[in-house]
């Protein structure tokens, strides 16, 4: 039963690694790979000489990554809060309503936010009608608001979906522990604090380690659709930079080199996080 899944992982996760060879050639589209000039580590060296763009892109990537890391407990907290809802139908409604946005494409999300937050959008019309503003504002073109606005959108879209694994973990906690807590006089808050939260911590640690391993993989689609001339400096993250190099500028070899460096850094971060967790908690994921 595992063979088909292993085959898919090999096909889509390991076979593409052959493409890393393009980073060592000055590849030109339409010319067979081995007929292009072999340049060795030229494009890797270029990463450290092209400082202006790399510093800007890495700054944006790290800001989004640190924000995501700081907000990583939110799905666990949300799952605990949702578990405390006693009205079953309302609980199912909340879980469904918060999970559905995950299946909405970023193109549709952008269209909705454009209708609401653009200069002629719904929000400005309401503020105008109430006399609260005299000049329209467009948060979609506000470079200073990029970090918090994109973070809020990401939370809205992924919070419910990210909480599913915690909801499943809560169901595996021994219910007799809650019954014993009630007998000892513990209320719902203390039960959640002293039983549910510790019961979810192993799951959180595993996801945190995997999240640190994906520290530089902050995404592409979201920032691609929201990028414009006024937000480009603050919204261009590493994945979007690689996309611009390889697809838009047709600089395939340099784009692959940047992608390889990102993967190597991610592996190093994953190993370091795993070692620290093993020393602190005595357990790790490998």
Could you report the average pLDDT of every consecutive run of 10 residues in the chain (286 residues)? 93 89 90 89 85 86 91 93 89 91 93 90 86 82 91 93 92 87 86 90 86 80 91 90 86 89 84 79 65
Rounded to an integer, what distance in angstroms lies between the CA atom of residue 224 and that of residue 85? 37
Give CA angle at 207 (205, 208), nearest 5°: 60
Q: Residues with Cβ < 8 Å from 91, sequence gap 6 or more?
A: 82, 85
pLDDT score at 208: 85
Residue 72 belongs to a domain: yes
Domain count, the chain: 1
DSSP state of 284: -
Q: Are 38 and 24 in contact (CB under 8 A)?
A: yes
Token duo for residue 152: 């809020």
Residue 17 belongs to a domain: no
How far is the CA of 184 from the CAs of 177, 181, 190, 196, 265, in angstroms?
Answer: 11, 5, 11, 16, 49
Collapsing DSSP states into helix, strand and coil, what is residue 182? helix
Residue 11 belongs to a domain: no
* CATH number of the domain bearing residue 107: 1.10.3720.10
Q: How many residues does the chain have?
A: 286
pLDDT score at 283: 65
Rounded to an integer, what distance in angstroms lies between the CA atom of residue 93 and that of residue 59? 39
H or E segment and range at residue 24: none
Residue 132 belongs to a domain: yes
Rounded to an integer, what distance in angstroms lies between the CA atom of residue 181 and that of residue 176? 8
Residue 48 belongs to a domain: yes
Token duo for residue 204: 């959180």
Rounded to an integer, what distance in angstroms lies between the CA atom of residue 97 and that of residue 78? 13
Residue 19 belongs to a domain: no
Domain of 154 in residue numbering reads as 40-281
């Amino acid at each position: 039963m595992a063979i088909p899944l292993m085959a898919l992982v090999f096909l889509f996760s390991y076979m593409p690694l052959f493409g890393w060879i393009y980073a060592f050639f000055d590849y030109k589209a339409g010319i067979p790979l081995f007929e292009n000039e072999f340049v060795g580590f030229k494009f890797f060296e270029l990463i450290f000489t092209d400082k202006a763009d790399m510093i800007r892109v890495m700054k944006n990537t790290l800001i989004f990554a640190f924000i995501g890391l700081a907000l990583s407990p939110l799905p666990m907290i949300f799952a605990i809060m949702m578990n405390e809802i006693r009205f079953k139908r309302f609980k199912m409604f909340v879980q469904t309503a918060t999970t559905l946005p995950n299946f909405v494409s970023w193109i549709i999300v952008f269209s909705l936010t454009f209708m609401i937050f653009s200069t002629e959008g719904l929000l400005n019309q309401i503020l105008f009608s109430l006399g609260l503003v005299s000049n329209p504002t467009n948060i979609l073109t506000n470079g200073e608001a990029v970090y918090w606005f994109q973070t809020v959108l990401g939370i809205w879209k992924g919070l419910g979906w990210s909480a599913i694994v915690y909801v499943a973990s809560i169901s595996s906690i021994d219910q007799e522990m809650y019954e014993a807590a009630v007998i000892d006089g513990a209320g719902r808050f203390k039960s959640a604090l002293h039983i549910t939260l510790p019961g979810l911590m192993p799951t959180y640690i595993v996801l945190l380690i995997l999240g640190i391993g994906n520290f530089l993989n902050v995404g592409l689609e979201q920032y691609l659709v929201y990028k414009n001339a006024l937000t480009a400096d603050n919204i261009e993250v590493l994945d979007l930079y690689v996309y611009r190099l390889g697809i838009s500028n047709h600089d395939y070899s340099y784009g692959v080199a940047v992608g390889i460096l990102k993967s190597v850094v991610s592996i190093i971060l994953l190993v370091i996080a795993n070692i620290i967790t093993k020393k602190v908690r005595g357990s790790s994921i490998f």
